């Protein structure tokens, strides 16, 4: 059905999101940091990126902004996925270029609805 790059430093969250994607027939690649994700993006371009905000090194907001500034990645939909759930967090995520924002713990039905918009 498509491919997704999941960027999250929590192995539990990566596993949950990977499982949701695989149940939809989406091929999954994972990264534990923004730097690792950028390296993987130089090798293959996914159909969608699912990005945590709180990461080691650079934040998901910074990575999102960088992805949306680069010609080769700016058209890839970015779904921010975080425990940061305030309206300001969601607003700031959209200002960084995110195409959608999902809060954790992730509701599978909401996740499926959002990801199907982009794949």
Mean pLDDT to the nearest integer, 28-50: 96
Residue 39 has a CB neighbour count (10 Å cut-off) of 11
Residue 96 has a CB neighbour count (10 Å cut-off) of 21
Q: How confident is the model at residue 1 (pLDDT cuts 50, 70, 90)?
A: confident
Instruction: Give the Cα separation of 2 and 58 in Å (integer).
Output: 27
* Average pLDDT of every residue of the chain: 96
Quote the distance between the C-alpha of residue 87 and its chain's center: 19
The tokens for 9 are 């430093």
Residue 81 has a CB neighbour count (10 Å cut-off) of 26
pTM above 0.85, yes or no: yes
pLDDT digits (tens, 9 = 90+) for 106-116: 999 999 999 99
Contacts of 72 (CB under 8 A, 6+ apart): 41, 45
Mean pLDDT to the nearest integer, 4-27: 97
The tokens for 95 are 């200002």
Cα Rg, the chain, nearest whole Å: 13
Sign, CA torsion 57/60/65/69: positive
pLDDT digits (tens, 9 = 90+) for 69-102: 999 999 999 999 999 989 999 999 999 999 999 9
């Amino acid at each position: 059905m498509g491919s997704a790059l999941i960027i999250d430093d929590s192995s539990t969250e990566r596993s949950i999101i990977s499982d949701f994607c695989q149940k939809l027939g989406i091929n999954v690649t994972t990264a534990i940091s923004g730097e690792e994700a950028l390296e993987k993006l130089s090798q293959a371009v996914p159909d969608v990126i699912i990005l945590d905000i709180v990461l080691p090194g650079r934040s998901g907001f910074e990575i999102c902004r960088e992805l949306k500034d680069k010609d080769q990645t700016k058209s890839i939909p970015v779904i921010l996925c975080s425990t940061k759930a305030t309206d300001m967090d969601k607003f700031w995520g959209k200002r960084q270029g995110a195409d959608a924002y999902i809060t954790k713990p992730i509701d599978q039905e909401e996740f499926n609805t959002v990801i199907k918009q982009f794949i």
